[in-house]
Structure 1
Amino acid sequence: MYRYTANPRPDAFVRDAPTVLAYAALGCFTFWLYAFGPALTLLRDELRFSYTLLGVYSTLWAAGAALAGASFTRLARRLPRSRLLWGSAIGAAAGAVLFTLGGSVPVTLVGAGVFGLAGTTMLTVIQAILSDRHGSRREQALTEANIGAGASAVLAPLALGALAGGVVGWRAVFALPMVVLAALYLRFRREPLTTATPRHPDRPPRDRTAPYDKPPPPSLSTRTGRDEHSPPRPRMPAGRYRARTFGGLPAACWMFAVLTAIGSAIEFCLVYFGPQMLVTTGLSATAAGTALGSNLFGILVGRIVGARLTRRPGRTVTLLYASLAITAVGFLLFWLTGHPTAAILGLFVCGLGIANLYPLSLALTFDAADGRDDEANARSQVVLGLVAAASPYLLGSLADRYGLTAAFTLEPTLIVLSVLLLAAGLRAHSRVARSTADEVTTPPIDPATTNQATTNQATTNPATSDSLPARPGKSGLRA
């Protein structure tokens, strides 16, 4: 399944044991995530609560996700990756038990919140492990990981529907990821989740198997080519670009984080309201729910293709622009047609485009983080949680007021906003890169050369020389 390489090439992509563990764990989380939505419908039939309360479950999940993102940086500084991974997996399993076996609205609501908090923490740890292991090749790792996630997204509703009418019941579906995670723990519990690819070539990788209380001491900087013994550089000339940071992260990193969240919002709006749109084409509610599988199948196919295309580095931006274009074409076909077959085909094409928006945008977020991967990872999950809670609610509110077809104008708006954010983020990141390149090409000041230059200046500048020339009529001594 995976291979070890004693002396891999620096640019080789190795699917080692931690990578396989991350892939499998992400599949478990995605299975839970895509079983949660259909399970809400079944839970509502049993507990007889309103549509408004149905929305509260999703809001609590999103709130837990935002809280997970806000707290991840602090947790990552104090706990090793392995403890975070297995601890969050146990928390997600506890949330699943509360949600499925609670038997009342308050308990199941608590389960949804715990699900969102622990599950998103688990997702964030998985992304951090893949970023640690693969560095500049993280876009391939994230895209490959989402292939298994796409397969889980397709299988979860099918398994839920198959068991819902049987003796076992739909609740047994939520136990399947628990069994897989238990098997993964037995197999990989002693596997060290250390950093495999150093963030900078001249810095040793930090051991993430042990917590630390404070950041490591300053070391060499590859961006400036200077160390702590180098003399101070002249001030940056006027007009040279200075990178702007917000909350410790560059502006480009924030733009890509918002891009990641909007890509997820495009998917969530289709998942929640796509079946309702298919009903307007003449399909029954049951057939419309089944037809949504075309979108999930398109996501799976798109991620398989994306994984192959990202094997060659340097294609992330091109693939993102292509994904947004494919999403736009598919959505227009789904949105403007009145025929169910064409609408289902549009959903499939939308899935092809949506498939790689999240992993590729997240890879750009890490790349623009300037070495602060944990902070970027956490902030992206905060933004994603907020957007995931707001976008379906906004679409539903617009649908109640103006109708569903008019409300779906939100989708092309989000696609256009994604294009603008991608272009702006790339522009901001390239300006930082050019400024960094200017600093690298500026030769460092040699103290010996500086002292010699000062001596030469002293012999020629009367205002600063201790050996002034003799005045006329006097001896060579200073007057």
Structure 2
Amino acid sequence: MASQLTLSFHRDRFTWLAYGSLGFYAFLQAAIGPTLPYLREELGLNYTIGGLHITLFAAGIILASLTSAELAQRIGRNRLFWGGSLGMSFGALLFISAQAAILTLLGSFLMGYLGSYVLVMVQSTLSDRHQQYRTIALTESQITASGLATLSPLVLALGASTFLSWRLVYAIGIVLCFLLFITNITTPIPPSKPRKRKKAPQYTADTIVSTATDDEEATLPRIFWLIWLVIGIGVAVEWSIVAWTADYLANAHHLPQEQASGMVSVFLAAMVTGRFIGSRLTRHMRSENVLWIAAGLTSIGFIVLILASGGILPILGLLICGLGVANLFPMGQAIASEIGAELSDITSGYVSLASGCAMLIAPQILGALADVIGIESAFQMIIVLLIGYVLMYSIAQYLRR
């Protein structure tokens, strides 16, 4: 059955475009956190204002998530897809050229808002294009995203050590976007499914039945919203680590800022490996079970990281943690996409909304806490999110029996 599934999965030109576009988005998104130490030093910002760049990026994700399904119906996926790509590049250009915090904040918001239309369109179109093989397509797209996200802090650290500065990573992202645009402008993008007023699908055994009637539009079942919360908490864990690990390592282990920022790549490289392993596991295991393994690895790795006194242990903690965090989002996304398969644009928008809410709240709260209790104590509060994740997923799994 596993080999049959693999043979039936075909990557067409659009699939590769979707993978590359999500990689472009992730490349710029992953640069925001490691950029903050340089930006704070350059513009004289505190932790709270620095973290606000991530908050506004997340606010952009939320706005795009709430409007993407309607815009896809109105202007079409093709215009929304390419408009989002080029718009994110414009936001990146503003971010690196600005010399005032108000403009860098605006650039960060535009990257999050316009770029997230790409994120939502990639998720929904891959789900529609590959149907029962959507878990493979979505997981592979996340592997590509993780691969480019891993390179992002390395390129940033390289640029920061030369006359090119930290801005190099954003310049490369802009070039990547235009290369994708020039080479794929004629690639057909699957259109949105027309929204029809119909009875919502009746889920049995594994889900809670929707209460929609024949006179209502199809709606998502209640179990979807529990998985939505699980996805949100998982993203909060991931982005809290991405945003503040460099500062945590620099303060807790007295590392040079360039070295601390570069070590974030250990976490991101582990995520690439973890998602590759996860994509293989889904051929033999249910996504729900892979998610349990991911949660366990994340918890173990984070505990090793915060208890490490130095040496190789922080790297080991980041490695294990990255292997686990890698599959929190893609497995949750696959479960949510399966539940909401008939409403792909709406489902994808809500999944992105969960990500945006998590990015909006968690890193900013940790940044504010760091200004009060110090970055070391604030960073350790991520353990509370991990406990909440396990509890919420346990409840969701119990209700799906």
TM-score tier, shorter chain, comes to 0.7 to 0.9
Q: Do the aligned residues in 2 keep the contact of 1:258 with 1:384 (CA within 8 Å)?
A: no
| Secondary structure of 1:248 counterpart | coil
Q: Do the aligned residues in 2 keep the contact of 1:13 with 1:137 (CA within 8 Å)?
A: yes
Quick one: distance in 1 between partners of 2:375 and 2:23? Answer: 32
CA 1:405–1:41: 2 relative to 1, 3 Å: closer
Q: Do the aligned residues in 1 keep the contact of 2:28 with 2:173 (CA within 8 Å)?
A: yes
1:298 matched to 2:270: yes
- In structure 1, the partner of 2:64 is 68
Q: Map 1:453-472; keep pairs closer than 5 Å.
A: none
- In structure 1, the partner of 2:172 is 176
Given candidates 310, 313, 316, the residue that maps to 1:345 is: 316
In structure 2, stretches of 5+ residues that fail to align are 213-217
- In structure 1, the partner of 2:221 is 250
Given candidates 87, 94, 119, the residue that maps to 2:115 is: 119
Question: What is the root-mean-square deviation of aligned Cα atoms in Å?
Answer: 2.8
| Secondary structure of 2:384 counterpart | helix
Q: Which has the larger radius of gyration?
A: 1
In structure 1, stretches of 5+ residues that fail to align are 1-7, 195-206, 225-240, 431-479
Q: Do the aligned residues in 2 keep the contact of 1:257 with 1:380 (CA within 8 Å)?
A: yes
Aligned letter for 1:33?
Q
CA 1:150–1:242: 2 relative to 1, 3 Å: closer
| Superimposed CA distance per residue, residues 273-306 of structure 1 (whole angstroms, 9 cap, x where no aligned partner) | 3234434653324333332322112112111211
1:14 matched to 2:10: yes
1:288 matched to 2:284: no
| Superimposed CA distance per residue, residues 135-154 of structure 1 (whole angstroms, 9 cap, x where no aligned partner) | 22222111111112111122
- In structure 2, the partner of 1:391 is 362
Q: Do the aligned residues in 1 keep the contact of 2:27 with 2:149 (CA within 8 Å)?
A: yes
Q: Which protein, 1 or 2, shows the higher relative CO under an 8 Å CA cutoff with sep ≥ 6?
A: 2
Aligned letter for 2:358?
V
Q: Could you tell me how far 1:222 is from its partner in structure 2?
A: 7.6
Quick one: distance in 1 between partners of 2:296 and 2:272? Answer: 18
| Secondary structure of 2:235 counterpart | helix
Quick one: distance in 2 between partners of 1:290 and 1:185? Answer: 30
Aligned letter for 2:306?
W
Quick one: distance in 2 between partners of 1:102 and 1:53? Answer: 16
Quick one: distance in 2 between partners of 1:9 and 1:419? Answer: 30
1:307 matched to 2:303: no
Q: Could you tell me how far 1:259 is from its partner in structure 2?
A: 1.3
- In structure 2, the partner of 1:191 is 187
Q: Could you tell me how far 1:9 is from its partner in structure 2?
A: 8.2
Q: Could you tell me how far 1:331 is from its partner in structure 2?
A: 1.2
Aligned residues: 389
> Which shows bigger deviation, 271-280 or 64-73?
271-280
Aligned letter for 2:279?
A
Percent identity for Structure 1 against Structure 2: 32
| Superimposed CA distance per residue, residues 407-461 of structure 1 (whole angstroms, 9 cap, x where no aligned partner) | 445333322322233233334445xxxxxxxxxxxxxxxxxxxxxxxxxxxxxxx
| Superimposed CA distance per residue, residues 76-118 of structure 1 (whole angstroms, 9 cap, x where no aligned partner) | 2223222211110111011111111123222222211111101
Given candidates 269, 272, 277, the residue that maps to 2:243 is: 272
CA 1:14–1:340: 2 relative to 1, 3 Å: same
Q: Do the aligned residues in 2 keep the contact of 1:253 with 1:366 (CA within 8 Å)?
A: no
Aligned letter for 1:184?
L
CA 1:242–1:271: 2 relative to 1, 3 Å: closer
- In structure 1, the partner of 2:147 is 151
Quick one: distance in 1 between partners of 2:261 and 2:88? Answer: 26
Given candidates 143, 157, 171, the residue that maps to 1:161 is: 157
TM-score of the pair, normalised by structure 1: 0.74
Aligned letter for 1:26?
L
Q: Could you tell me how far 1:370 is from its partner in structure 2?
A: 5.5
